């Protein structure tokens, strides 16, 4: 049973040494006073202030600020805790949508009876767990990034709550949940090929938009569970708690503590902590493989040589003949052979061990969109489960079988 909402009494909003918005590290909670630092950045938009915060905080031992000083996007609604408790029936477990490192997410409902001018709609309310693995810095990152960045393939942030020590976020409600649930839950109905391609293109557009910002935004936690689907299976990226501003000027990367999800993180990022937009491209390639195969990026229930999806599936991505043995059996053989081969080619480029060989997300969008009109469905006549069987070398028949066959002929 998830724990019920309760008031918390801790300190609120202090920024220690280190880059705040560049790395969003060392951020605890306190009610601050205005400083010379905050005055110097008040005139900028909050999105452009990221770099300024990073530069100043790298040389400043301490700085304090409030959300008002930071200047959150004006379109966001500053909710009260009482309003969000009412919207979610006091954060009832009956309305629980999910739970993660940040805390719990509950379904709620808002309208103009709560606040004049509010659009009547279902919402998802994320409640910070003070004792959780993530905290105020992830909450702040989400408010800043999703408050400033608006795109059809990013989940919409409606508002936030920063009342006393409480930290909450209010998003548009995504009725079909996450891509992860559709791909991996045994009770789920398999996604048709056309829907998978639509999701892949939508997620690619979301990443391409982030990478095209100035400076670029590195998502850093691209995975199936962070891709949410609306009623029409339009893919939207969610959970920007680990997002980072990309390198500017002559810099080729940003260096940061390695964070993310095992199985999706790029190998060079894991080894060096060097983060670039190509780190996201690798993660995108892994999700493409999940869409093709219906397998998780890491699955400990599989045989040892099949646990890591990238390592296991790589040899099967070169030809259509090999690829059919690893296609998701839930597709029932109903997919475009040409499109699947092209998607596999794109995935293979994305998971290249050499970051420079990985394509830009804008190029990936163009390549995938070109596949939408391909109608050559595989329509296999074999049972779908046979597609799981990989080619094996022929084995000689046992001697006992040979004798039996010979005896049958001589009788």
Clarify whether 366 is annotated catalytic. no
**Looking at 94, 112, 129, 221, which residue is catalytic?**
221
Peptide bond into 252 cis (omega under 30): no
Half-sphere exposure of 392 (CA within 13 A, CB side): 6
8 Å CB contact between 151 and 219: no
* Conformational region of residue 203, where left means phi above 0, alpha means psi within -120 to 50, and beta covers everything else: alpha
Q: What are phi and psi of 132, to 5 degrees?
A: -80, 180
From the list 130, 136, 134, 126, the residue with the least C-alpha distance to 160 is: 126
Beta partners for 22?
none
Give me the count of residues in the chain. Answer: 411
Token pair 């199985």 in the structure block, residue: 263
Yes or no: say if 348 and 314 are a contact pair by the CB < 8 Å rule.
yes
Crossing angle of helices 193-211 and 361-369, rounded to 10°: 150
Task: Give the annotated binding-site residues.
Answer: 126
How much is the CA Rg of the chain, to the nearest whole Å?
25
DSSP state of 178: B
* Virtual torsion, Cα 97, 100, 102, 106, nearest 10 deg: 10
8 Å CB contact between 177 and 352: no
Q: Which residues are annotated binding-site positions for ATP?
A: 126
Say which residues have a Cβ less than 8 Å from residue 408's Cβ, sequence separation at least 6: none
Report the catalytic residues: 221
């Amino acid at each position: 049973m998830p724990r019920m909402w309760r008031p918390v009494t801790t300190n609120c909003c202090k920024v220690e040494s280190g880059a705040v918005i560049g790395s969003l590290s060392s951020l605890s909670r306190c009610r601050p006073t205005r400083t010379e630092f905050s005055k110097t950045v008040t005139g900028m938009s909050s999105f452009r202030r990221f770099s300024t915060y990073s530069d100043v905080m790298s040389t400043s031992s301490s700085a304090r600020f409030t959300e008002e000083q930071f200047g959150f996007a004006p379109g966001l609604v500053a909710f009260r805790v009482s309003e969000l408790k009412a919207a979610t029936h006091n954060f009832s477990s009956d309305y629980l949508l999910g739970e993660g490192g940040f805390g719990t997410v509950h379904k709620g409902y808002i309208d103009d009876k709560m606040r004049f001018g509010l659009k009547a709609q279902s919402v998802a309310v994320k409640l910070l767990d003070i004792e959780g693995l993530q905290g105020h810095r992830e909450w702040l990152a989400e408010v800043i990034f999703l408050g400033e960045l608006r795109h059809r393939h990013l989940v919409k942030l409606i508002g936030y709550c920063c009342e006393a020590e409480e930290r909450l976020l209010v998003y548009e409600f995504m009725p079909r949940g996450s891509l992860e649930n559709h791909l991996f839950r045994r009770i789920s109905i398999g996604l048709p090929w056309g829907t998978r391609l639509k999701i892949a293109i939508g997620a690619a557009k979301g990443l391409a938009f982030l990478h095209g910002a100035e400076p670029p935004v590195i998502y850093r936690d691209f995975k199936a569970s962070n891709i949410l689907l609306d009623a029409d299976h339009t893919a939207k990226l969610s959970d920007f708690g680990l997002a980072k501003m990309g390198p500017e000027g002559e810099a080729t990367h940003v260096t940061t503590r390695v964070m993310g999800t095992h199985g999706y993180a790029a190998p060079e990022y894991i080894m060096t902590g060097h983060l670039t937009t190509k780190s996201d491209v690798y993660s995108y390639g892994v999700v493409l493989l999940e869409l093709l195969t219906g397998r998780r990026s890491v699955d400990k229930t599989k045989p040892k040589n099949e646990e890591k999806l990238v390592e296991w599936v790589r040899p099967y991505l070169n030809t259509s003949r090999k690829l059919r043995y690893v296609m998701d059996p839930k597709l029932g053989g109903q997919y475009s052979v040409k499109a699947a081969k092209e998607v596999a080619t794109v995935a293979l480029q994305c998971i290249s061990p050499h970051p420079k060989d990985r394509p830009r997300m804008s190029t990936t969008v163009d390549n995938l969109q070109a596949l939408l009109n391909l109608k050559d469905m595989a329509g296999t006549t074999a049972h779908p489960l046979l597609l799981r069987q990989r080619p094996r070398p022929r084995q000689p028949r046992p001697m006992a079988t040979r004798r039996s066959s010979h005896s049958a002929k001589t009788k």
